[in-house]
Structure 1
């Protein structure tokens, strides 16, 4: 098995060498390479590299799919070569020119939230494990009941499950400063100020146990525990303010004055203007999300499950991160996850059907790993390598996603976390929902597999390619 260092070297060679790389970055699953000359990229060579699950060109970038975790390690090895430094800022500038305004905004949203997702995944797993441990059948093995569980144990689990959401504005402001060229630690402190214990706690205010501090008689000042948009907007403006100040403040005073002025101006703006306005916007978005999820007769699951993977191929699916974070923070559970997990599993089922039905050894060798990747929660290899290539399998996968989403909505499945689906996602349903979750995935895979096998694929399609 090739080492990550060897794979990084092969990637560099396949995309035309260091001199052909304009900039390089990565998201949760893909290495994103912007090249000077597309013609120098050896597409076939890239796809033959070990651990590469697929590759395609989109939004001005050559995107190589490695999968969660692996992409981080490959990126680290590649940046040991002469492709780092100013290349990151170049990518931001060049990528900003690609796509329409909405697509650019969503990409930026993704750049901010992708680094935060791992800790939210961990928090979701902690919630799932607590749900498992707190079940009566499990507690009885230790001679306990839900009423007799020690308070210290409950406190320990609350530290694990609540911390990330209590300090979510700090994580968001830190990442936003990083993306927009500010000093991340200034963003971190700004975010922490938004949840300062000196301010009325947002959750206590919502429960009626505390009151906002009135400013000028009409501006309610509260903490922003669990909020996203106020910290995001404050982070953008704060980073821009910092860069503007650094250009004007003498170097001898920069270390002292710049952080002082940024924090002073931005916390005042955040508490008195940005916070109240964008917290209201956040409430409207949440209300819209809940309206969709509460559509009757499983209609929400049918619509979301069918259209989810279409949205994924447009590249604007990072907006879902914000929606899921809001659901978890406000409801304590995530009804969106079990719907989209079926959509993901269904694309794997469609790719599996292609692999089973085709007589092409090359297509079989591509289909089976792509299906497995989808069953692990990563659909890009199945979608771009198989299903979209022949189109009908992709449509059958959409139908499977709609059917399984309908079932998930009817059953009322609720994840304890986000960002992991299908097989890894079982860890989010250990609180008595595991059999329903498995059923949803099997229905998704089975529906897409049968439809693709019977109506969605034959080897004549391969011959016509």
Structure 2
């Protein structure tokens, strides 16, 4: 299928003309623009272009949904017409960052750090889900697990669990690599920093509480200063803060050390200084802060479960619009480390399903064939854990499906919050999300899944009767 020059010119005109484009690139399905002013965009005109399936703005980028395969041809034609140079995704991020306020930049930084390591975490969560099925009691055989009935599967489950736990055991190594890369340092030093914080010679963070109770915490004696010889397995804040310090020390040394001596001085001195600072000050301080934050979330969901579920279930999708949802990934990981599971991620999975259900309902109430097609493909995507097409291409565009979705999500979130449903890990945020839920909570979670399928779907149809749309 070719792309008419006129079609691409319509897109350019709708986004404010070629002079409004600071930079442009594309991903698998979308054009990504860093625009000088999003106020100049005519969304109505843009969404009426034949090849456009939707548009939205996020993290300072204006994105136009085109579709797999066709987006490449549209982009090539756009480059030809406008004369702009092809840009990388990193170029677009840097250009778009100029349009963000300090809070948005901070949130974007967290997103840029965690998104690259998300595949490893989600994969680990999916494998832990498989392990849950094999080792969970009462799923298939009364009070027994699959491995207790079929003992030949015990070692298979054990290997799966080892593979799954690797990402969480060495999480600081993953975060160290991504964070130092984001902060402008050497990613290799970030990996070393992260692994240093979970070195086997250190007391495992998961045994720290018990060691304190028994009085067996090991210490270094640095000229009279006692420093706890403790690791930071599964921790997020210690490695994030240490990575920032490391990157700045490395940058300062690179400016001052002659090229001939950089190999011998920059990396060793950077790691040495950061290492001492991490164990003496950064680690203990951020570890305490992380525990306070975790305790705050746990208190809210223990004492005010209904309210906590209502607020999070209703607000998660709006937070996705702002990009602030990335901040909860760090909280999820901290909860998994501190209390052995997270009550936040199950609500994320349900929110995704709710957005998919509202989008699916639009296929039945809309008379526009283009909207019908986009609705069903977006619903499938949301059911598999990717909500952006449904969220930005359909639900927010017509508003009432979005209201229906967050209503269903809030009701389901309240239901699982009062029933103390937790996930063992972060996994696929859609219909397969149950694999990451503790097996004992499956029954409640399945009921909540039905809620997020039925309520948004029916409510979207009801609300459509009072709205005018194509």
Same fold (TM over 0.5): yes
Give the structure-2-normalised TM-score: 0.81
**1:376-415 residue pairs with structure 2 within 5 A?**
376-415=384-423
2:433 is the counterpart of 1:461: no
CA contact (8 A) 2:246 2:270 kept: yes
Alpha-carbon offset, residue 31 of structure 1: 6.8
Aligned-partner SS, 1:298: helix
Aligned equivalent of 2:56: 56
CA distance in 2, matches of 1:292, 1:133: 33
Pick the aligned partner of 2:436 from 428, 437, 457.
428
Of stretches 100-109 and 363-372 in structure 1, the one that deviates more from structure 2 is: 363-372
CA distance in 1, matches of 2:179, 2:48: 32
Superposed CA RMSD = 3.9
Give the structure-1-normalised TM-score: 0.82
5+ unaligned residues in a row in structure 1: which ranges? none
CA contact (8 A) 1:374 1:382 kept: yes
CA contact (8 A) 2:135 2:146 kept: no
Alpha-carbon offset, residue 174 of structure 1: 0.8
Are the structure 2 counterparts of residues 105 and 29 from structure 1 closer, same or farther at C-alpha, using a change threshold of 3 Å?
A: farther
CA contact (8 A) 2:24 2:86 kept: yes
CA distance in 1, matches of 2:106, 2:231: 26
Pick the aligned partner of 1:270 from 278, 282, 290.
278
Aligned equivalent of 2:208: 205
CA contact (8 A) 1:56 1:63 kept: yes
Aligned equivalent of 2:99: 98
Aligned equivalent of 1:33: 33
2:331 is the counterpart of 1:323: yes
Deviations 1:325-359 (A, max 9, x none): 11222233222122222222222222222321233
2:165 is the counterpart of 1:162: yes
Aligned equivalent of 2:228: 220
2:129 is the counterpart of 1:128: yes
Are the structure 2 counterparts of residues 84 and 419 from structure 1 closer, same or farther at C-alpha, using a change threshold of 3 Å?
A: farther
Aligned equivalent of 2:289: 281
CA distance in 1, matches of 2:447, 2:430: 11
Are the structure 2 counterparts of residues 138 and 11 from structure 1 closer, same or farther at C-alpha, using a change threshold of 3 Å?
A: farther
Aligned equivalent of 2:90: 88
Pick the aligned partner of 2:192 from 181, 189, 200.
189
Of stretches 321-330 and 420-429 in structure 1, the one that deviates more from structure 2 is: 420-429
Deviations 1:225-246 (A, max 9, x none): 1111111011112112212211
CA distance in 2, matches of 1:271, 1:48: 58
Aligned equivalent of 1:352: 360
**1:59-70 residue pairs with structure 2 within 5 A?**
59-64=59-64
CA contact (8 A) 2:131 2:161 kept: no
Alpha-carbon offset, residue 380 of structure 1: 2.2
5+ unaligned residues in a row in structure 2: which ranges? 77-83
CA contact (8 A) 2:434 2:442 kept: yes
Are the structure 2 counterparts of residues 20 and 261 from structure 1 closer, same or farther at C-alpha, using a change threshold of 3 Å?
A: same
Are the structure 2 counterparts of residues 41 and 248 from structure 1 closer, same or farther at C-alpha, using a change threshold of 3 Å?
A: farther
Alpha-carbon offset, residue 219 of structure 1: 3.9
Are the structure 2 counterparts of residues 362 and 156 from structure 1 closer, same or farther at C-alpha, using a change threshold of 3 Å?
A: closer
CA distance in 2, matches of 1:217, 1:149: 52
CA distance in 2, matches of 1:227, 1:288: 17
Size of the alignment, in residue pairs? 444
Deviations 1:141-179 (A, max 9, x none): 999627967875565244223222221111111111111
Aligned-partner SS, 1:57: strand
CA distance in 1, matches of 2:353, 2:181: 34
Aligned-partner SS, 2:439: coil
CA distance in 1, matches of 2:305, 2:93: 45
CA distance in 2, matches of 1:247, 1:48: 52
CA distance in 2, matches of 1:347, 1:127: 26
Are the structure 2 counterparts of residues 380 and 161 from structure 1 closer, same or farther at C-alpha, using a change threshold of 3 Å?
A: closer
CA distance in 2, matches of 1:230, 1:162: 20
2:306 is the counterpart of 1:306: no
Alpha-carbon offset, residue 438 of structure 1: 2.9
Pick the aligned partner of 1:337 from 315, 322, 345.
345
CA contact (8 A) 1:54 1:380 kept: no
Are the structure 2 counterparts of residues 371 and 187 from structure 1 closer, same or farther at C-alpha, using a change threshold of 3 Å?
A: same
**1:135-154 residue pairs with structure 2 within 5 A?**
135=136, 145=148, 152-153=155-156
CA distance in 1, matches of 2:346, 2:63: 27
Aligned-partner SS, 1:227: coil
2:383 is the counterpart of 1:375: yes
CA contact (8 A) 2:11 2:49 kept: no
Aligned-partner SS, 2:234: coil
Aligned-partner SS, 1:63: strand
